[in-house]
């Protein structure tokens, strides 16, 4: 009833009318007075039928139409903002007039000598006149506003993508010329759309024609309206845009799910995000497989306050766990995560636990008290330069802490243990990468010792966009400071993924995982760090090397130009998920592994850095370190494209 009362107000709710509403009602009444005579004139070839019939029809139909007009609230609706809902109300009024006219003629038509066709004509003409007046008002409003802005001062916009999103954008720009944006053409690769007009704007060619169209049409801005396409397509568009005009502004339109939800209009067009340039399609979850092992379970996440850990928590909440154990060393990040869960997931039960994985006794207490079924291990030191200067901490936290966690997971019967690893663990050149490779071996050995129903796996991926300490936040801060943007080497490339993708990979792999396997994401082609920097500078409204300089500082200890996702000896095969592969490693020598870890712990206790490096190189095949020359800028002022998955 509330919905009906809002759409069809009572007369008491709409009277008295405002001055503007009274004018609109007066115009409608004038149209009613015109519609019925027109209906008679059309039916009688310019005449008005039998004597007195027209006057009787006007006396009966016009008051009825006025009543319906008021009940529908039409005088209170904006004409300049005419919508399809408004047209629906006009159709209702026309149908009501038709039905009432038919009833009137059924009762009095024979006596007056008026056929029923007059009623059909009257309803159709009533709708047509009212819709036309409103459409003309909207047209005048849009063009009057456009003249206020001035066509000579509006930016000429080229829209790439003539689908639903592109059509919506053009309609909104026409509707709101006050934005100062004038759509002058489309580009679309669909051959059926070439030469056609979409929302009144011509499709001028395909994406490959971008450079020519931009120059010929004197384009000021490009809107990319292809939300269903992957990052590779977006990058291709941008390459063509830059070919025509390097400094041209370009923006991207959000996905159609936002359009359908009604949250998208011209104001939602955003700057191209660096995520759009990954060069591959985003990962999609097999939610059924994940729900099967997470639903109703007690789930523990180490490093829960970090970038990956907190995203894991958010996504796990979707699958209705029985309890979450949020284990982390930083109290502020855990506190913030708790407040977020209270706000967004009030039905999820959680326990915030402050502790360090190096403390075995504390961990044992946590396992005994909360009895987790599933453990996601995201806690780790990740910054390569810092771990080069503090290798003992990489041993204490990444190696010894992980061993504590793995042993207690075995002891307490955890059904799924998922270790988050990094591509820097492959043929490591850094202490951080070597420590994570040791953890992979610990997980592999735990899988061998696991009891029935226990699964221990590792998930290996590259750099995470937007994580703490990664290149994007650092580049943004450097750009905000006016530069320079610092890069260690012009040829350095990295595999990238987003934080949600990383969390999804972890969840997916843990649902499909078998003991001892290492899962790897197909992350597409590696991206040059300098290309990311240049893209981000342009997205910030500046020109690389002109407004914001780029400075090369030289590679740091532990860095390499190209990361690897697997060793030469690892055999890979595709899983049921098209973007996830499994690397089956060779068996590890458990005795040698344990003795090496004991020796590492002893060397770390005495801060014997050379001994730590020698032990890693002696045990890990393909491990080779470069000499360490500590510098002031090695960890603080330079971006960290070589950071592993965040804790």
Distances (CA, A) of 622 to 430, 526, 567, 611: 12, 21, 9, 18
CA angle 549, 551, 556 (to 5 degrees): 155
* Phi, then psi, of 428 in degrees rounded to 5: -65, 140
Q: Are 485 and 533 in contact (CB under 8 A)?
A: yes
Specify the residue for token string 């006596």. 111
As beta bridge partners, residue 325 has 300, 351
CA–centroid distance for 68 within its chain: 45
In sequence order, what are the residues at sequence separation of 6 or more whose Cβ sits closer than 8 angstroms to the Cβ of residue 196?
162, 202, 203
**CA quadruple 209, 211, 217, 221: dihedral positive or negative?**
positive
User: Residue 297 catalytic?
Assistant: no
Look up residue 262 and give its DSSP letter: T
CA angle 287, 293, 294 (to 5 degrees): 75
Give the span between the Cα atoms of 106 and 566, in whole angstroms.
85
Strand runs (DSSP E) across 75-179, as ranges?
155-160
Which of 433, 377, 464 shows the shortest CA–CA distance to 646? 464
* Phi, then psi, of 595 in degrees rounded to 5: -70, -35
* Phi, then psi, of 585 in degrees rounded to 5: -90, 165
Give the span between the Cα atoms of 443 and 516, in whole angstroms.
7
Burial degree of 413 (CB within 10 A; 0-12, 13-18, 19+): middle
Determine which one of 424, 436, 476, 579 is catalytic. Answer: 424
In sequence order, what are the residues at sequence separation of 6 or more whose Cβ sits closer than 8 angstroms to the Cβ of residue 52?
112
Supply the DSSP string of 485-551, one letter for each residue: EEES-TT-EE-EEEHHHHHHHHHHHHHH--TT-EEEE---S-EEHHHHHHHHHHHTT--BTTTB-EE
**The two three-digit tokens of residue 90, written as one number:** 């006009």
Q: Are 379 and 328 in contact (CB under 8 A)?
A: yes
Dihedral angle at the C-alpha atoms of 501, 503, 507, 512, nearest 10 degrees? 50
Taking each helix axis as running N to C, give the angle between helix 499-512 and helix 307-317, from 0 to 180 degrees, rounded to the nearest 10.
60
Give the span between the Cα atoms of 179 and 40, in whole angstroms.
47
> H/E/C letters for each residue in 461-495?
ECEEECCCCCHHHHHHHHHHCCCCEEECCCCCEEC
As beta bridge partners, residue 485 has 550
- Taking each continuous run of H as one helix and of E as one strand, the counts in the chain are 23, 22
Distances (CA, A) of 593 to 103, 222, 518, 613, 637: 94, 57, 18, 15, 36
What distance separates the 2 farthest-apart alpha carbons in the chain?
Answer: 116
Catalytic residues: 424
């Amino acid at each position: 009833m509330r919905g009906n009362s809002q759409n069809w107000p009572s007369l008491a709710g709409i009277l008295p009318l405002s001055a503007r509403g009274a004018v609109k009602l007066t115009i409608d009444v004038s149209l009613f007075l015109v519609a019925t005579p027109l209906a008679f004139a059309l039916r009688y070839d310019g005449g008005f039928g039998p004597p007195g019939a027209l006057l009787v029809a006007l006396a009966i139909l016009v008051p009825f139409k006025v009543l319906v007009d008021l009940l529908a609230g039409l005088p209170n609706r904006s004409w300049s903002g005419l919508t399809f809902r408004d047209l629906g109300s006009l159709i209702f009024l026309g149908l009501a007039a038709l039905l009432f006219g038919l009833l009137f003629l059924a009762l009095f038509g024979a006596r007056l000598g008026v056929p029923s066709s007059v009623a059909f004509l009257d309803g159709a003409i009533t709708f047509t006149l009212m819709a036309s007046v409103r459409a003309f008002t909207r047209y005048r409003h849009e063009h009057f506003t456009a003249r206020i802005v001035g066509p000579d001062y509006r930016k000429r916009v080229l829209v790439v993508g003539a689908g639903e999103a592109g059509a919506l954008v053009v309609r909104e720009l026409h509707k709101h010329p006050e934005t100062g944006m004038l759509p002058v053409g489309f580009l679309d690769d669909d051959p059926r759309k070439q030469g056609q007009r979409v929302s009144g704007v011509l499709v001028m060619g395909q994406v490959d024609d971008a450079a020519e169209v931009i120059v010929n049409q004197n384009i000021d801005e490009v809107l990319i309206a292809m939300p269903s396409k992957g990052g590779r397509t977006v990058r291709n568009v941008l390459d063509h845009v830059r070919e025509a005009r390097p400094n041209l502004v370009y923006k991207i339109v959000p996905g159609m799910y936002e359009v359908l939800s009604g949250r998208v209009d011209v104001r939602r067009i955003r700057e191209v995000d660096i995520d759009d340039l990954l060069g591959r399609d985003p990962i999609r979850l097999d939610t059924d497989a994940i729900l099967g092992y997470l639903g109703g379970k007690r789930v523990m996440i180490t490093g829960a306050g970090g970038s990956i850990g907190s995203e894991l928590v958010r996504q796990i909440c979707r699958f209705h766990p029985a309890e979450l154990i949020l284990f982390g060393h930083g109290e502020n990040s855990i506190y913030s995560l708790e407040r977020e869960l209270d706000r967004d997931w009030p039905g999820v039960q959680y326990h915030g636990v402050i502790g360090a994985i190096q403390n075995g006794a504390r961990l044992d207490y946590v396992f005994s008290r909360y009895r987790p079924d599933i453990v996601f291990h995201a806690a780790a030191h990740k910054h390569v330069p810092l771990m080069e200067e503090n290798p003992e901490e990489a041993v204490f936290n990444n190696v010894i802490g992980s061993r504590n966690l793995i042993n207690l997971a075995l002891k307490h019967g955890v059904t799924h243990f998922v270790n988050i690893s990094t591509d820097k663990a492959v043929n490591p050149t850094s202490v951080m990468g070597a420590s994570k490779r040791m953890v992979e071996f610990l997980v592999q050995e735990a899988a061998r010792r696991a009891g029935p129903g226990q699964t221990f796996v590792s998930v290996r991926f590259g750099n995470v966009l937007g994580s703490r300490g990664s290149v994007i936040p650092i580049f943004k801060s450097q750009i905000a400071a006016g530069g320079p943007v610092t890069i260690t080497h012009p040829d350095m490339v990295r595999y990238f993924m987003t934080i949600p993708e990383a969390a999804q990979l972890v969840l997916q792999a843990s649902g499909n995982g078998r003991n001892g396997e290492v899962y790897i994401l197909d992350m597409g082609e590696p991206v040059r760090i300098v290309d990311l920097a240049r893209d981000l500078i342009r997205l910030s409204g500046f020109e690389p090397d002109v407004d914001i300089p780029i400075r090369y500082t030289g590679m740091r200890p532990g860095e390499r130009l190209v990361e690897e996702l697997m060793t030469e000896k690892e055999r890979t095969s595709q899983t049921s998920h098209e973007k996830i592969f499994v690397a089956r490693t060779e068996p590890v020598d458990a005795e040698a592994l344990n003795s090496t870890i004991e020796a590492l712990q002893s060397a770390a206790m005495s801060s014997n850095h050379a001994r730590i490096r020698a032990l890693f190189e002696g045990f890990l095949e393909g491990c080779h370190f470069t000499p360490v020359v500590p510098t002031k800028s090695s960890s603080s002022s330079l971006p960290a494209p070589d950071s592993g998955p965040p804790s």
